[in-house]
Chain A
Amino acid sequence: MNELNQKTARDNILARLRNNRMTQSASPAPYLPSYGWSQAEKIQRLSERMQAVRGEVHRMPRTDWVGWLNQELPKRKLHNILLGETANAELFRAQADAALTLHRYDRVIEDWKQDLFKQVDVGITDTLGGIAESGSLILWPTPQEPRLLSLVPPVHIALLEADKIVDNFAQAMHQQHWSEHMPTNALLISGPSKTADIEQTLAYGIHGPKQLIVLILE
């Protein structure tokens, strides 16, 4: 269809939509439930939800996560680690176990797409917060932490600061004023990739990460 036809299609559709006798319906009431959960309750709830869909959750003091990774990654035979360019990524880089191979997501994807798909074991990212009700992580990928970092590697490790967990999604949007500055891509991630397309039987690790490990930093 050429530009002109498309403009006609647009005008025709809008004209048909305007040409009817619809009664106006009232605006929906604002929806902003609040459960008043304490931080401990929120952590509890988020962890339970996450674990129910095979997400792994570990709570630790905020100074301990580098040490935890240095210990766990070699133990789990995860060697090729992809990091972004955030403060946390630099922190890890400075103290990472020598046995680990660290990769830096510092080029446009076209320059190394095949390597990303084939050679990386783990992607580590920050999160913008968590949602207790549904057991979700909030991610707004950035130039420092691109979109594929939390998607292509078979294992995704996410750092979540305990005081950034809110009751529910509506609250997160409201408190962080999402509608004023939506990023290129905003994500809720609630567990590792899964499917139930064969006989409605749950199977994990279909296209996205097979494992999601959440480190809650207190």
Chain B
Amino acid sequence: MHQTEAFHQRIDKALHNEQARTSFRSTMSGLMQKRAAQFPDNDELQALRDQARAIRAHALTRQPELLEQLEQKLTANGIRVHWAETAQQANEIIYQILHAADAKTLVKGKSMVSEETELNHYLEQRNIEVLESDLGEFIIQLAHEPPSHIVAPAIHKNVKQVAELFHQFFPELGYTENIDELTLLARQILRDKFANADAGISGVNFAVAETGTLCLVENEGNGRLSTTAPRLHIAITGIEKVVAKLSDIPPLLNILTKSATGQPITTYFNMISRPRQPDEKDGPQAVHLVLLDNQRSSIRMDEELLDTLRCIRCGACINHCPVYVQVGGHAYGTVYPGPIGCVLEPQRLGLEKTGILTSACTMCGACAEVCPVRIPLPKLINRLRAESVNAARSEAHINGKGSLRKLTESQAWAIWRLLYASPRNYRLFRWFATRLRGLTPTRLGAWTRYRSSIKPAPRSLQELAQQEGFDHE
């Protein structure tokens, strides 16, 4: 099926899911309010955004040196570094590490990059037991569903659905629709897993080149458990997550947690620089970092689109997007939904596969206004729209350029250009358009499905103005 048709089908399905739409609406408005409450002083907020933007932009310009420095520091600290160009390579590397260590059971902290590589599926096929330990991820793993939000992955489910899911898988624990009780059930189920897992897998929020430090932000403690209790820890992250200095971390952490969930800070901020040392009594004996490219280095080739890579995955743009609020995360059909998804996914997967996501935008600008690192998301969406119909005339290396170009549409625009480029043509066109207004087509595809068609007025504004005695064009 063509991507456009498939996208429209997913949207249709999402719009008919009343329960999920209610969840998205109430959650997103709650998150927006909580975020706003964290930034009472607008000047301070804008200064902090400038700071965060500058840190991320600077790290991107120095990315190759910083990655080398990161590798060197981590290696000196005893953490093994691996490089993967593709998702497949990253999965292979992780499987090999697990295999060599004879690790059969895994607990996972939340990691969007591992969603990108579909790591769970890959490992399960190779008989490794993978358990998501973040409560939201655990819920959707039970339900065999992808995340619907990058920060709150199970937000499309209500408490009743979660209760039924738990009851289906763990009938011995009894049925409850009380959120506190469900939380304690999950604690009980997962505690044993933490105590017995051979390996832990986590993502990384920031990787500090200066000191060789992996930073993880979380509330539940599952991230700390996954990276501390098992004998082996493997972290996976995109190459763009590197920052230069340890002193870059406080402002980034500050704006990340406030933007994401409206918390002044998360419960845990976990900074890992080494595996267990000889005199230490716990912590993993081996720590590995997998650095994944997966098109990021290509995105960085374009001076405008590279802004995409500043993203710190706070999800604020998603929470504020009027399109996301209506359709929810699954309609996008990609790992990353919402504004950042509309920008990142077409570049990562190719315009020929996901370019149509750029149509899911009203250009309202809300996302760009809240983005903590000032990514001009609507501008980038517009640019990708242009690339997808070959109207940008850039040299950018984006897969699937021009794949959404339609002959009729491009001819219509070519004629438009002809008419508007010369005053004479335009005057002629205007005269005909007003005199022959009865002939204007009334069925204009999607436009007239919910709107009446437009009809030119009998006389143009300019003619009316002339009648009134204005003599300038």
Contacts and interface: CB of A to CB of B under 8 A. Distances in A.
A203 B268 contact: no
Contact of B228 (A30, A31, A147, A209): A147
Interface in B148-178: 152-155, 157-159, 162
Interface residues of B, number: 100
B195 A25 contact: no
B281 interface: yes
Given A179-B247, A200-B31, A207 B225 contact: yes
Given A151-B225, A190-B267, A206-B183, 10 more contacts: A5-B89, A29-B54, A136-B269, A148-B282, A151-B221, A168-B250, A196-B152, A197-B139, A200-B27, A203-B183
A182 B273 contact: yes
B326 interface: no
B276 to A, nearest CB: 7
B93 A28 contact: no
B23 interface: yes
B63 to A, nearest CB: 5
A108 B220 CA distance: 25
A115 B124 CA distance: 30
B382 interface: no
Nearest to B64: A17
Contact of B222 (A13, A146, A207): A207
A28 B250 contact: no
B273 A183 contact: yes
A136 B135 CA distance: 23
**B211, B222, B280 interface centre (most CB from chain A within 10 Å):** B280
Given A22-B61, A169-B254, A12 B273 contact: no
Contacts of B261: 196
B68 interface: yes
Given A28-B51, A151-B221, A190-B265, A117 B281 contact: no
Sorting the interface of chain A by its residue count into under 10, 10 to 19, 20 to 34 or 35 or more gives 35 or more
Given A136-B265, A179-B210, A22 B300 contact: yes
**B26, B180, B220 interface centre (most CB from chain A within 10 Å):** B220
**B210, B254, B281 interface centre (most CB from chain A within 10 Å):** B281
Contact of B300 (A20, A204, A206): A20
B273 A184 contact: yes
10 contacts: A28-B51, A31-B250, A135-B265, A143-B277, A179-B210, A182-B273, A187-B271, A197-B136, A200-B155, A207-B194
A119 to B, nearest CB: 12
Contact of B297 (A16, A30, A110, A152): A16
Contacts of A77: none
Contact of A182 (B89, B190, B246, B265): B246
B186 interface: yes
B58 A28 contact: yes
Contacts of B30: 200
B283 interface: yes
A1 B90 CA distance: 9
A207 B192 CA distance: 11
A26 B59 CA distance: 10
Contacts of B277: 143, 184
Contacts of B133: 207
A23 to B, nearest CB: 7
A117 B229 CA distance: 10
Interface stretch (B78-86, B353-361, B426-434, B445-453): B78-86
A76 interface: no
Interface of B: 23, 26-27, 30-31, 51, 54-55, 57-58, 60-61, 63-64, 67-68, 82-85, 89, 92-93, 96, 133-136, 139, 152-155, 157-159, 162, 179-180, 182-184, 186-187, 190-192, 194-195, 210-213, 219-222, 224-225, 228-229, 231, 239, 245-251, 253-254, 261, 264-277, 279-283, 291, 293, 297-298, 300-301, 303, 306
B268 A206 contact: no
Given A22-B300, A25-B61, A182-B271, A170 B247 contact: yes
B44 to A, nearest CB: 9
A109 to B, nearest CB: 4
A205 B85 contact: no
Contacts of B222: 206-207
A188 interface: yes
Contact of A199 (B83, B179, B282): B179
A75 interface: no
A1 to B, nearest CB: 5
**B54, B186, B224 interface centre (most CB from chain A within 10 Å):** B224
A34 interface: no
Interface string A87-129: 0000000000000000001111110011001000000000000
